Chains A and B, each alone.
Chain A
């Protein structure tokens, strides 16, 4: 698996051509599954669907079933969340799912094991979504090796902003996983360009200043902001945090390359079980099929 992003495309004419021919005119550059998926989405002129799942919530058996179902429902990338005891960027829903998973005794290895099982039936790209401490605790290289062996394609550390830990970031950039970077509404335009240039696979734009959690409304400025990030980014842009309904997905999908849906799926899992969550997933999927970013 090869990855795109920094290093390969950062400077010079390659970066230029990437900016204009982005997402689907990658020439002969070898790509990872994430890049391939986004290239295909662009070619098919539709927006991507990225569901988030907390590993082990409410049980590992549910996660297993949910992952397979989401792949079948047409998820383009799946974010597999490693539950953490102190999820400081998360609202009540994902706090609850993380604590629930930990109460079940879910470990990092359990999360990798369900991913490895998914790989028996699906090659949908999977990004490991984790707070830094479980990664640090295991040892970065060991964590990476286990994740790669299990079939992960990317890693998204919530609490590792650009420049926070250059040696650690370099290790993650050099590894076979795509290091997906986050951009927030508070990020300055200059830093948006830096982060987008350093990200791998895709760029994650945080839809609001705040923590995760389902919302009734998206902010009015979101579409314009996502467009600005997209214009500054050589990579596809996914938007998440608060995206909850098919209507939201359509709005996001018209401005960005993909929509990430987390808390709303967890809420639906609570109310309607795996079947309910998959029903919402299919609604979101078809809504995103109807739109594509301009």
Chain B
């Protein structure tokens, strides 16, 4: 895929080591969670990171969101290397531009805070809006934009279903008008009918707000629907990368082939379980 513009985000040879001590009496051991991972996210594109559990998908997402620092390597947003930014510099230049939505819609929200207030608070942190009523207007707009009703703004998280609450989380992330949204298994916990609604919503919002997505998931049928490019992680290494057509049509590694071959096909005429 030719993209003439500069990428909005560059991940350059990141490594992430976790030091664990305890369990084994031998002392500290180093776990290489990410090794030499590099890729680029083009503007207004969706890049999907896939791989087995523990392959390093979420770790990569957290590093890009600046919730964690890489051991070595750098991450560059619109030409600025923010790997070593101070917390205040991150808040000023990165947090408003790169937002993240997680898998469990409930744990991301404070159960004692009305969802409208949670959205207003996100604006306050980013110092967006002149007054509370100004921010409330923005929150209402965004709540409606994600398909909820403005009447629901005073409700608390337990009064929503999982799908509705994930919409609230998306609204809270988007209200500060980020350019990049990181979605870590954000639709995985939803029922298929609701998952389809949220995926459609994400496609619409991407157009409307010129967003770029980093989409982290283990569900390859969702990836085929939403992604432009795919990166395949295996034990902390990016083993393969390409367009959706390339990865699905012509996977180059056994690992990717095995991942693709393991998706149960919703067609009983195509038997996958015959071989022992």
Q: Do A and B bind each other?
A: no
Residues of B in contact with A (beta carbons under 8 Å apart): none
Residues of A in contact with B (beta carbons under 8 Å apart): none
